[in-house]
């Protein structure tokens, strides 16, 4: 795991200090790679790459980057891991590759693949997570590429003006901000999208003229392509900026996997579960290879328990596992993780966090996440990463199990709710939603506790907001994944933004409502929230995280499972549970899904109240002029009174305000 940054200037006469600029940009993300650093520049062309290395595979200097290919044609800056790189070396040699290997790094393997097969074919043969900047000295062409699901981040955009303008790119926005002359303002459209989703969805970033390269995409920029039009990848939006010689295309698409899976569905449940176990076991095996200490996160839920069980089954010694526990009732899942760890025989470590310790992380969040990001589970995620980093350099996680195997509550409750409400006239549905949110959260929680449910009030309030104004199931889904459902009412000059989360995310035909939800979550919420959250939280501590569920072979198999092998009754992940129950007793796993949460809403009424009040001050909001103060102040008052729970909506505003304060 590493980080890189780069620049391609338009004024070639002032290229002497390019290596220094690239070094400075890379230094801004030194936390991603504390073990080594490097820079390379071609002054006459105006291109430079900077790199920070976290040594995982081949710890020697043979893995130093930026790295040249054997023929010197290509220069690469690479962030990620290619788990099958030794297999790729075997294939290269079988096909006639004869240049001697300088070391054992997967970066060198990638370069050899580019020379033998080309970049796109090399990516298609690779199993891994990555972001890549590849410079072709022969054609003066820059390629930027991102892995299939977006595990590793990659930003690109334009900074400066006139002769001093430049293409800048890198693993995090702070690297781009380190480019001299970066003055890009906040994008109001991106801010409006952020207020809806609580993250900035691709291809947008919080800055104008700066974008996220979408998962599975490749951007190519060459002066030789100046006469060609800007191309957009299928099922994604075109960046609203044109630049001579830029092409953007998709080298891998989940839509193709979904379509293929629909045509090759499993009919036999035993065969399906056996195939899933074999495929997952192989994914865990290859992702457990490292030249540094390795462990795993363990919450005691289905996803992480499955990954740890398969790790331990293939390990020669106890796997190191990590969990975080909290003082507050209803938020501490550490006993469940402990029980699973004891059954599997892992070397388990628990970090118990007080409210004060968790709150102490909040001032670090703007710097950690680079742009506004308001999934409050970012706090415990960072804390467990920090704890794990004390013992290991790599940790496997159970992320993506929900999206691939039908784990979110909205997958089985959403259609049922809609089927029961669809017959009601629109005004009646609207009124029903209002009634649900009128009952205080605490009252719902007390009722839920008598029925064995946790955090009932928060969930019902979200449901009540979601059914307001819905006319079909797609509306319901959109509301379920939205916080500020009318961003234009709160963001000044936010317009009516469009993004991949709004348009062009259409599942191939003949798929159910639930499968449409799963597809949309996999292409939006997963990369832009879940994977972003884990990457930044982990890399802030120089910890590499790996996600076995996102081995593309696992995803392909998941989409071959009929929906009834994922969701049965009110429970998701049926096939995955059958694999897990071969290793862990059912009774250690079965319980209501709670999520990885913390009581932020309670803290905002207590120890965080003064902090929040200063950021939500009406005069301050008016002066900064990003938000209309009235709706924010109204929600703040309702939240403080306990009448309603506006935690997520307010957290979105607070994280933007804290970010704005931190970057000013």
For residue 139, what are the CA distances in angstroms to 173, 224, 433, 445? 28, 8, 59, 63
Cα–Cα–Cα angle for 26, 52, 198, rounded to 5 degrees: 70
Is 114 noted as a catalytic residue in this protein? no
DSSP secondary structure string, 366-430? HHHHSS----TTHHHHHHHHHHHHTT-SEEE--TTHHHHHT-SHHHHHHHHHHHHHTTS-HHHHH
Q: Is the peptide bond before 66 cis (omega within 30 degrees of 0)?
A: yes
Task: For the chain, state the CA radius of gyration.
Answer: 24
DSSP string, 81-144: EETTHHHHHHHHHHTT--SPP--S-HHHHHHHHHHHH-HHHHHHH--EEEEEEEEETTTTEEEE
**Active-site residue among 2, 114, 217, 499?**
2
Kindly provide the residue ranges of all beta strands, DSSP E only, lying in 171-299, ordered along the sequence.
210-212, 217-222, 246-250, 294-297
Q: Which residue stretches of 222-369 are H helix?
A: 254-263, 269-287, 302-314, 334-344, 355-359, 365-369
How far is Cα 225 from Cα 109, in angstroms, rounded to an integer? 28
d(CA 389, CA 542): 7
Are the C-beta atoms of residues 146 and 217 closer than 8 Å to each other?
A: yes
Q: Say if strands 347-353 and 320-326 run parallel, antiparallel, or are unpaired.
A: parallel
- Which pair of tokens denotes residue 211? 């974008």
The partner residues of 394 in beta bridges, in order of sequence, read 294, 544
Strand partners, 74: 136
Task: Please tell me what DSSP assigns to residue 61.
Answer: G
* Catalytic residue ranges: 2
């Amino acid at each position: 795991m590493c980080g890189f940054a780069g620049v391609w200037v338009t004024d070639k006469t002032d290229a002497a200090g390019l290596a220094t600029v690239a070094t400075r940009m890379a230094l801004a993300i030194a936390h991603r790679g504390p073990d080594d650093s490097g820079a390379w520049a071609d002054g006459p062309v105006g291109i430079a790459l900077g790199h920070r290395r976290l040594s995982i595979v081949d710890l020697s200097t043979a893995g130093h980057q930026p790295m040249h290919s054997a023929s010197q044609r290509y220069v690469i800056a690479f962030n990620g891991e290619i788990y099958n790189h030794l297999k790729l070396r075997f294939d290269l040699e079988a096909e006639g590759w004869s240049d001697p290997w300088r070391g054992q790094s997967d970066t060198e393997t990638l370069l050899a693949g580019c020379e033998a097969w080309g970049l796109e074919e090399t990516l298609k043969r690779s199993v891994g997570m990555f972001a890549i900047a590849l410079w072709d000295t022969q054609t003066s062409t820059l390629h930027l590429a991102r892995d299939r699901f977006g595990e590793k981040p990659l930003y690109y955009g334009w900074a400066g003006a006139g002769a001093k303008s430049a293409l800048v790119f890198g693993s995090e926005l702070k690297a781009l901000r380190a480019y001299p002359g970066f003055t890009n303002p906040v994008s109001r459209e991106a801010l409006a999208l952020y207020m809806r989703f609580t993250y900035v969805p691709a291809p947008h970033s919080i800055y104008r003229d700066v974008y996220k390269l979408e998962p599975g995409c490749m951007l190519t920029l060459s002066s030789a392509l100046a006469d060609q039009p800007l191309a957009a990848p299928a099922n994604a939006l075109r960046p609203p900026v044109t630049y001579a010689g830029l092409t953007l295309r998709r080298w891998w698409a989940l839509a193709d996997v979904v379509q293929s899976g629909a045509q090759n569905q499993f009919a036999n449940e035993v065969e399906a579960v056996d195939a899933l176990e074999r495929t997952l076991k192989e994914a865990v095996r290859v992702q457990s290879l490292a030249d540094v200490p390795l462990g795993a996160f363990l919450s005691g839920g289905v996803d992480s328990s499955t990954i740890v069980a398969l790790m331990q089954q293939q390990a020669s010694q106890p796997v190191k596992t990590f969990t975080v526990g909290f003082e507050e009732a209803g938020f501490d899942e550490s006993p469940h993780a402990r029980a699973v760890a004891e059954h599997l025989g892992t070397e388990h470590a628990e970090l118990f966090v007080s409210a004060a310790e968790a709150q102490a992380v909040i001032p670090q969040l703007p710097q950690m996440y680079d742009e506004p990001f308001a999934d409050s589970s970012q706090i415990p995620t960072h804390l467990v990463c920090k704890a794990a980093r004390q013992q290991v350099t790599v940790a496997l996680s159970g992320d993506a199990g929900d999206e691939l195997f039908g784990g979110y509550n909205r997958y089985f409750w959403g259609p049922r709710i809609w089927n029961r409400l669809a017959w009601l006239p629109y005004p009646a549905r609207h009124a029903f939603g209002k009634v649900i949110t009128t009952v205080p959260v605490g009252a719902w929680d007390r009722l839920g506790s008598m029925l064995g449910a946790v955090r009932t009030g928060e969930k019902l309030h979200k449901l009540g907001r979601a059914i307001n104004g819905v006319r079909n199931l797609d509306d319901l889904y959109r509301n379920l994944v939205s916080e500020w459902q009318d961003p234009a009412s709160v963001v000044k000059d936010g317009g009516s933004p469009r993004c991949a989360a709004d348009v062009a995310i259409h599942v191939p035909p003949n798929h159910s409502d639930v499968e449409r939800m799963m597809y949309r979550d996999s292409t939006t919420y997963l990369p832009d929230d879940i994977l972003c959250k884990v990457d930044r939280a982990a890399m802030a501590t120089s910890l590499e995280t790996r996600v076995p569920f996102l081995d593309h072979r696992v995803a392909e198999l998941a989409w071959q499972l009929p929906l009834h092998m994922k969701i049965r009754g009110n429970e998701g992940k049926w096939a995955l549970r059958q694999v897990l129950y071969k290793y862990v007793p059912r009774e250690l796993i079965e319980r209501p899904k709670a999520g990885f949460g913390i009581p932020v809403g309670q803290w905002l009424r207590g120890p965080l109240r003064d902090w929040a009040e200063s950021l939500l001050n009406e005069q301050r909001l008016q002066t900064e002029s990003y938000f209309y103060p009235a709706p924010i102040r109204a929600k703040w008052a309702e939240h403080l009174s306990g009448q309603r729970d506006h935690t997520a909506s307010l957290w979105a505003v607070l994280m933007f305000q804290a970010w704005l304060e931190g970057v000013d």
